[in-house]
Each structure stands twice: as structure tokens, then as C-alpha cells.
Amino acid sequence: MNRREAQGWRGVAGGGVVIVVGVALIAKDVPVFGVSALPVVGAGISMLTVGLYRLFIARRGRGR
């Protein structure tokens, strides 16, 4: 595994954790900075998407 693949996996794992935490906060109705925790889930989805993209590019570039 090279550095780019590791960055991709880190993004996927981090995004998954942020999504789980955000959903748990929404389920318990805990406000984040006085508003809903929905933006936390959105940030997790964004991190997950970027991580998957980096992983896809790293794996695609390796096979050339």
C-alpha cells in the first residue's frame, strides 16, 4: 500500500466515523453549536466521498 492509498483509506474511515457520530447525535437530539447535527453527517459524507475518490485514483494509477 502506498501513501495515496493510505490517505484514501484514512478518508474513508474518518468519514464513516463522522457519519456514525452525527447520526448518534441526531438520534439523541443533541444540538451542535445550537443547531441540528445534520451538517456533521454532511461533512462525514463529504469526507467519505473524497476518500473513495482518492482510493480510486491511487488504485487506477498503480495499474498503468
Q: How many CB atoms lie within 10 A of CB 34?
A: 5
The predicted structure's pLDDT at residue 64: 56
The DSSP code for 30 is -
pLDDT value at residue 63: 62
Quote the pLDDT of residue 20: 97
Residue 60's pLDDT band (boundaries 50, 70, 90)? Answer: confident
Quote the cell numbers at residue 48: 467519505
pLDDT tens for each residue of 4-58 = 899 999 999 999 999 999 999 999 998 888 888 999 999 999 999 999 999 999 8
3-state secondary structure (DSSP) of residue 33: coil
Q: Is the pTM of this model over 0.95?
A: no
CA distance 31 to 8: 30
